[in-house]
Amino acid sequence: MISHPATPLRGIAEVPGDKSISHRALILGALTVGETRISGLLEGEDVLATAAAMRAFGADVIREGDGVWAVHGVGVGGFAEPEDVIDCGNAGTGVRLIMGAMATSPIRATFTGDASLRSRPMGRVTGPIELFGAASYGRTGGLLPMTVVGARNPVPVRYRVPMPSAQVKSAVLLAGLNAPGETVVIEAEATRDHTERMLAGFGAALAIDDTAEGRVITLTGQPELRPTEIAVPRDPSSAAFPVAAALIVEGSDITVPNIGLNPTRAGLFETLRDMGADLTYENMREVAGEPVADLRARFSPEMKGIEVPPERAPSMIDEYPILSVVAASAEGQTVMRGVKELRVKESDRIDAMARGLEANGVSIEEEDDMLSVTGLGPKRVPGGGEASSRLDHRIAMAFACLGMGAKAAVRIDDAGPIATSFPVFEDLMNGLGARLARSNR
């Protein structure tokens, strides 16, 4: 993909449904007897892989229309043993949550994924599910392909999540669903809480206490989940791309409607406002217990680099790639600390951003746990270079946005991964005024 400097971005950007919530809706629907109806489901490759996996575990998963799906589940503990390998594609959330969900049923399943997923650590999930009585056999280093043998007589677990990870927390809670008694998960820093909210929505007994040691979540096992209707909100992590592009492309003024501003997800928008972005929340309202707003973003030539508060990292963990693109256009240094989890995402996102920014004339500094970008402000990002997307949708979209605000086009070696989370990205951005083109080189 080649991203030429954009014309002013203007209009309404209707971004797709939330990826995190979409995975969870399908998985919890599959664990519920009766019909769970879902609207606004993200129909990206990651979520479609989870839908296929839920069918393989015995649920009926039916697409009824655009984003409208029905799931007839098998109930807690009702998963059947899949007849074939479960291929989760590029989706870390998919594979880790599904491993948790099947770990306390007396079945075994073998999981694999694409080259990116096969290089990502699974030990962070197999460790805790072994405490329930499950076993796992993967490649050296806890890598996929991996077979998980579910516990025949699961015991409940008390587990302190050692890194800030909503995927690990969620895997433990989903495993706890089919263990008798109380499963307790403790997280030192709050991460996205969609699993907790959705479990409560399906009628599970769940208590959350904020204590000196962190957030303590207590789940009572073996509940009878009640089917429900889920309207998936639009994804703030996808909204981040048109918002960021509008801030750095001269003359832009866009609105991104209906974006969830759950505090565990909204860290990027707060950070952009701290940098001086002209980003406003319009029509603030509450939908299904979540704060929602229309985001209005306008060209912001006055943005300044800042030190991003490290405690904000869990609420914007997927947004550091696009933040570093905005930082390249702001004036002065933006320092991002406490970000070493970025090294084990779909790619090593610190390295991917550092190399691609350098190739396009932006200076960076990098440590194991830190990325700092020296913004060019009014001098503008030169562009003219190539960036490698490394099987990582957010890296591909971040560099597409870099090209929109740069002096010369930015080339991305492979835009294919964008389809995992934002299949309409190219058309949507070009509809606003971007100039994304495909190259045959």
Name the residues annotated as catalytic. Answer: 318
DSSP character string of 132-163: TT-EEEEETTTEEEEEEE--SS----EEEESS
Q: Is the torsion defined by CA of 198, 201, 202, 203 positive or negative?
A: positive
Q: Cα separation of 81 and 57, whole Å?
A: 6
Q: Cα separation of 159 and 186, whole Å?
A: 6
What is the DSSP secondary structure assignment for residue 318, as one 8-state letter? G
Number of residues that bind ligand S3P (CB under 6 A): 11
- 155, with CB counted inside 10 A (0-12, 13-18, 19+), is middle
What is the DSSP secondary structure assignment for residue 33, as one 8-state letter? B
Q: Alpha helix locations (H) across 118-228?
A: 123-131, 166-176, 194-201
Classified as helix, coil or strand, 371 is: strand
C-beta closer to ligand S3P: residue 217 or 410: 217
Q: Cα separation of 347 and 115, whole Å?
A: 10
C-beta closer to ligand S3P: residue 403 or 417: 417
Question: Does residue 50 touch ligand S3P according to CB under 6 A?
Answer: no
C-beta closer to ligand S3P: residue 167 or 300: 167
The nearest distance, CB 290 to ligand S3P, in angstroms, is 15
C-beta closer to ligand S3P: residue 28 or 166: 166
Question: Does residue 318 touch ligand S3P according to CB under 6 A?
Answer: yes
The nearest distance, CB 342 to ligand S3P, in angstroms, is 9
Query: Quick one: which of 60, 182, 270, 341 contacts ligand S3P (CB under 6 A)?
Result: 341
C-beta closer to ligand S3P: residue 99 or 330: 99
b/e sequence 213-233, b meaning 16+ C-beta within 10 Å: ebbbbbbbbbbebebbebebb
Q: Which DSSP helix (H) or strand (E) runs through 293?
A: strand 290-298
Q: Which stretch binds ligand S3P (CB under 6 A): 162-170, 180-188, 268-276, 366-374?
A: 162-170
- 413, with CB counted inside 10 A (0-12, 13-18, 19+), is middle
C-beta closer to ligand S3P: residue 165 or 228: 165
Residue 365 CB neighbour total at 10 angstroms: 12
Question: Does residue 324 touch ligand S3P according to CB under 6 A?
Answer: no
The nearest distance, CB 57 to ligand S3P, in angstroms, is 19
Q: Which stretch binds ligand S3P (CB under 6 A): 33-41, 166-174, 228-236, 331-339?
A: 166-174
Query: Quick one: which of 192, 215, 234, 265 contacts ligand S3P (CB under 6 A)?
Result: 192
Question: Does residue 420 touch ligand S3P according to CB under 6 A?
Answer: no
Q: At residue 123, what is the residue type?
A: G
Distance of CA 129 to the CA centre of its chain: 22
Classified as helix, coil or strand, 283 is: strand
The nearest distance, CB 296 to ligand S3P, in angstroms, is 25
List the Cα angle 263/286/223 in 5-degree steps: 75
Question: Does residue 22 touch ligand S3P according to CB under 6 A?
Answer: no
Q: Which stretch binds ligand S3P (CB under 6 A): 33-41, 165-173, 245-253, 271-279?
A: 165-173
**Contacting ligand S3P within 82-121 (CB under 6 A):** 93
Question: Does residue 317 touch ligand S3P according to CB under 6 A?
Answer: yes
Query: Quick one: which of 32, 170, 271, 315 contacts ligand S3P (CB under 6 A)?
Result: 170
The nearest distance, CB 295 to ligand S3P, in angstroms, is 20
Question: Does residue 264 touch ligand S3P according to CB under 6 A?
Answer: no
Q: Which DSSP helix (H) or strand (E) runs through 95?
A: helix 92-102
C-beta closer to ligand S3P: residue 126 or 255: 126
The nearest distance, CB 421 to ligand S3P, in angstroms, is 8
The nearest distance, CB 92 to ligand S3P, in angstroms, is 6
List residues binding ligand S3P (CB under 6 A). 20, 93, 165-167, 170, 192, 317-318, 341, 345
